[in-house]
Amino acid sequence: MKKLSLVALIAIFSLTLMQAQTNVKFGITGGLLNSNTDIDISVLGFDVANIDAINVTGFNIGAFADIELSEKFHIQPELTYGSAGKLAFVYLPVMMKYYVADKINIQAGPQLSFSTDLQEIKDGLKDIDNILNTNVNLDKAFNSTGVDLVFGAGYDINDKFFVQARYGLEVTNRYSGPLNNSLSVRANTFTVGVGYSFN
């Protein structure tokens, strides 16, 4: 699943570059990142608890390529690093941008997220593990890669600067321990920031 998702994103990016007949802009982005981790517990398919386990704010910084396929439709792949609390991720979104007005666009697309530090989430699960007495090795019970669906909007201040806001909804379960049919851990993100284009 993880390998197929990565291959799909790389294929989309490669095909887009090959088919792009117009402008390609490169630049950097940065801003605020809020990460909200939910732990859902279910029994026999019924939700019994939803725990808002972690809500932390930090920063993100990265690089992008804005590929203009038409006047209204762009594709913007990015490579971004985000850190909030004890959580740290590398994000690889491929955003489809549609200009609904002269300088205003709406965005949507898939995103791969690679965790470099999930210690705060693991700490949050220790109490659950102690209550259920499962003796799970939390270092081995987490997936380092996740898949998100991201939605957002942006505004071009001028030819160089833009602002944007996005919400990322994780669709994969980060937990892969013995309770993975009853326990799900997902880290959703909200970002707001500014971007600068070099050309």
> Residues 24-34: pLDDT tens digits?
999 999 999 99
Specify whether the CB–CB gap between 195 and 167 falls below 8 A.
no
Q: Which of the two residues, 111 and 143, has the higher pLDDT score?
A: 111
Most confident stretch, 72-76, 115-119, 129-133: 72-76
The class level of CATH for 2-197 reads mainly beta
Quote the pLDDT of residue 20. 46
d(CA 27, CA 30): 11
Q: Which of the two residues, 25 and 120, has the higher pLDDT score?
A: 25
- For the record, the structure tokens of 97 come out as 């941008």
Q: How far is CA 74 from CA 10, 25, 35, 162, in A?
A: 17, 11, 27, 14
Sign of CA dihedral 114, 117, 119, 120: negative
Q: What is the mean pLDDT of residues 31-57?
A: 78
d(CA 66, CA 111): 16
Quote the pLDDT of residue 126. 65
Domains of the chain, by residue range, sit at: 2-197
Q: Is the pLDDT of residue 174 over 50?
A: yes
Quote the pLDDT of residue 44. 64
Name the residue type at position 149.
L
d(CA 38, CA 58): 18
Specify whether the CB–CB gap between 30 and 194 falls below 8 A.
yes
